[in-house]
A and B are shown apart, each in its own frame.
Chain A
Amino acid sequence: MNIGARPSEELLRALHASAADIGRSIAFMEVCGTHTTSAFRCGLHSVMPKNVRLISGPGCPVCVTAQADIDELIDLGSRREITLCTYGDMLRVPGKHGSLEKARGDGANIEVVYSSLDAVRMAQTHPDRQVVFAAVGFETTAPATAAAICAAQELGLDNFTVLASHKLILPAMRALLSAADRPMIDGFLCPGHVSVIIGSDAYRCIVEEFNTPCVIGGFEPGLLLSSLLCLTEMIAAGRVALVNQYPQAVRPTGNAHAQALLQKVFETGNAHWRGLGLIPQSGLFLRQGYARFNAAQRFSLKPVEDREPAGCICGRIISGLALPPECKLFGRACTPVQPIGPCMVSSEGTCAAWFKYGPHRAESHGVAPAQQLQEVLP
C-alpha cells in the first residue's frame, strides 16, 4: 500500500536505519487514545526498532477523568428524577458504587447518545424530565457540548444541564514534561483530531519551551510510521521542530469557529486528572453566564473524595510511567469483561489495547510474556 509518496515497507526500512544511527534508547509518547489503539491494531510495536519505544500518555478522555468526577456522574445518573445522556464510552466505567450500565440495569434512566444535540432534543421532547448531558472529552469534543448549551439556551430549555469535565491536552503535556518523575519522552506524536480544533501552531510552546520535537500525525499504519520516522530522523539529526503530517485536516491555526464557540461558553480553570493530579488551567468550565446549565449547581453536587480503585495503576499508565503488564490486576482481576480501571474499559484505553493486541497474548503460544515484552519494548 502507498501512503503519499512512500510505501510502508520503505518507511519501515528508513525508520530502522534512522534509529540505528541514534545509538541509544529513545521513547516517543502519543497523547491520543485513537493512536494507542491504531498502533496496537496494526502491530506497529512488533516492528519497531529495538531502541525506539512508543508509549501512551494521557490521551484517552475517559481514562484521564478523575475518579471523583466519575463517581459524581454515576451518582447523578442513578437519581430517578434524571435522564442522563452520555456517549457510549462512559457507560461501563466503574465508580465507587457500580457503573452507569449497572445503574441502568437497576432502573435508572440512562441514554447513550451519538451527539450532544440528541440530549437537547431529549430535553425538548421530555419537558417533565431533567436531562443531564455527561460532557467528557478533549478539545475535539468540547465544541459539541458548547453547541448543545447554546441550542438549549435558544430553545429556552430549563430542564437541560451539563456535567462537564472537559480537558485541554497542552497543559497535560506541559505537566508531564515538568514533573519530578518525568517519563522518558524524546518527542510527542500529537493527537490528530484535537489538533484539528487547536491547530498545529499550538504545539510551538512544547517545542520551544521544552526543546521537545512534536509531530502531528494521522492514524492509518503508514501515516503512523511516517510520523515516527519524522521524529526519529529529528533525534538522529539533533533537530527539534514542529511538523504537521496531517495537513489534510489540521490547519496551522485550527478551526476558528470551534475556538470561538469554546471561548464563548467555557473558561479555563484548574482541573483534576487521574494520575497527574491538579493541573493549572487544564479544564473547561461553564462561564457565569451559562451557570444555569451547570448540573453540579442545579443538583447541588458536593465534592467527593478522589480515590482510585485499590491496586489500580491506571494513573501511572497514562502518565507514561508504567506499562499495563506491570499492574498486578491486569488480565487477572481486571479484564475487558470485568474492568476495574478506566484504561481497561475504554476502547481507546491502553490496558484494553494491550489486553486485545499486546504481547501477553503470546502466553497462549507457550512464549514467556517477559521475553515477549523485551522483544517488543527493549
Chain B
Amino acid sequence: MCLAVPAKLITHNGLEGVVDLHGNRLPVNIMLTPDAQPGDWLLIHAGFAIEKLDPKQAGETWALLRDVAQAAANSPAGSEADASAHSSTGKGDRR
C-alpha cells in the first residue's frame, strides 16, 4: 500500500498537476510539494506527490531500472529468476 513511484511533473495549475510516468500522463495533486515546478521529479503515492526527488538520483534509478530490464530480456528465457527480475522493473519501481 505504501508504494510510490518517481514521475516527472509536466505541468500544473494550482495544486492540480500532470506527471509523465513511463510515457503515460497521470493527474497528481501537489499540495504536499507546493513548490514543485514542471521538470521536477516527484515521488507519487495514491495520486499525491509526497516528495521532490533529487534529479540526479532519480535519473540513476531509472537508468538502473532500464539496465535490469535489459539484463532480464537478454537472459535465457524461462527461469523463475528472470521472471522475478523483469517483474521488479515493471512493478517494483512503483514504491
Contacts and interface: CB of A to CB of B under 8 A. Distances in A.
Interface of A: 1-4, 32-34, 38, 41-43, 60-62, 87, 89, 114-118, 136-138, 140-141, 143-144, 147, 191-194, 196-197, 219-222, 247-251, 255, 257-258, 261, 346, 348, 357, 361
Interface of B: 1-4, 29, 31-34, 43, 45-48, 50-51, 53-54, 57-58, 60-61, 64-65, 67-68, 71, 80-81, 84-85, 87-88, 92-93, 95
A140 B88 CA distance: 21
Given A61-B1, A255-B32, A41 B47 contact: no
A34 B5 CA distance: 12
A61 B2 contact: yes
A32 B47 contact: no
A111 to B, nearest CB: 15
Main secondary structure of the interface of B (DSSP, over half): mixed
A150 B47 CA distance: 16
A36 B4 CA distance: 15
A114 B94 CA distance: 14
A137 B1 contact: yes
Given A1-B71, A144-B48, A248-B58, A89 B1 contact: yes
8 contacts: A38-B88, A140-B2, A143-B32, A147-B32, A192-B95, A193-B45, A220-B68, A255-B51
Nearest to A257: B32
B59 to A, nearest CB: 10
Contacts of B84: 41-43, 357
Nearest to B50: A196
B29 A138 contact: no
Given A1-B71, A257-B31, A141 B45 contact: yes
A79 B87 CA distance: 38
Contacts of B57: 247-248
A222 B64 contact: yes
A60 B33 CA distance: 25
Contact of B88 (A41, A118, A250): A41
Given A143-B32, A147-B29, A220-B92, 11 more contacts: A2-B64, A33-B1, A34-B2, A38-B88, A42-B92, A138-B1, A193-B43, A196-B51, A258-B50, A357-B84, A361-B80
B88 A117 contact: no
Contacts of A247: 54, 57
Contact of B47 (A114, A194, A219): A114
Nearest to B55: A248
A3 B47 CA distance: 28
B88 A193 contact: no
Contact of A249 (B43, B67, B81): B43
A115 B48 contact: yes
A220 B85 contact: no
A249 B46 contact: no
A38 B33 contact: no
Contacts of A357: 84
B92 A38 contact: yes
A246 to B, nearest CB: 9
Contacts of B85: 42
A147 B64 contact: no
Nearest to B67: A1
Nearest to B56: A248
A171 B87 CA distance: 33
Contacts of B47: 114-118, 144
Given A193-B95, A248-B61, A115 B67 contact: no
Q: Identify the interface centre among B45, B60, B80: most chain A CB within 10 Å of its CB.
A: B45
A201 B26 CA distance: 32
B45 A144 contact: yes
